[in-house]
């Protein structure tokens, strides 16, 4: 379990055929306070063509950490 789920930014493809969204508990149920960003496309196309979105989520998560836990 993460120490601070509010620092988590998950990126999820809307048409992902490998990671199901129906019939399973959402990450927001498991880790209340986390953010989920949805992008168009599937699992592989998201990885190949949307890397900037994944990078931005990483940058934003680090910024959240810095704002929350540094002076």
- 48 pLDDT higher than 90: yes
pLDDT in tens, 19-41: 877 888 989 999 999 999 999 99
* Number of structural domains found in the chain: 1
Domain that holds residue 39: 5-70
How confident is the model at residue 20, as a pLDDT?
Answer: 78
pTM metric for this prediction: 0.85
Across 2-19, average pLDDT? 92
Residue 17's pLDDT band (boundaries 50, 70, 90)?
Answer: confident
Distance, in Å, from the CA atom of 18 to the CA atom of 2, rounded to the nearest integer, reads: 24
């Amino acid at each position: 379990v993460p120490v601070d789920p509010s620092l988590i930014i998950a990126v999820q493809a809307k048409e992902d055929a490998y990671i199901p969204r129906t019939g399973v508990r959402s990450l927001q149920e498991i880790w209340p306070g986390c953010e989920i960003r949805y992008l168009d496309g599937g699992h592989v196309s998201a990885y190949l063509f949307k890397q900037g979105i994944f990078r931005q989520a990483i940058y934003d998560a680090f910024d959240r950490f810095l704002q929350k836990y540094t002076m």
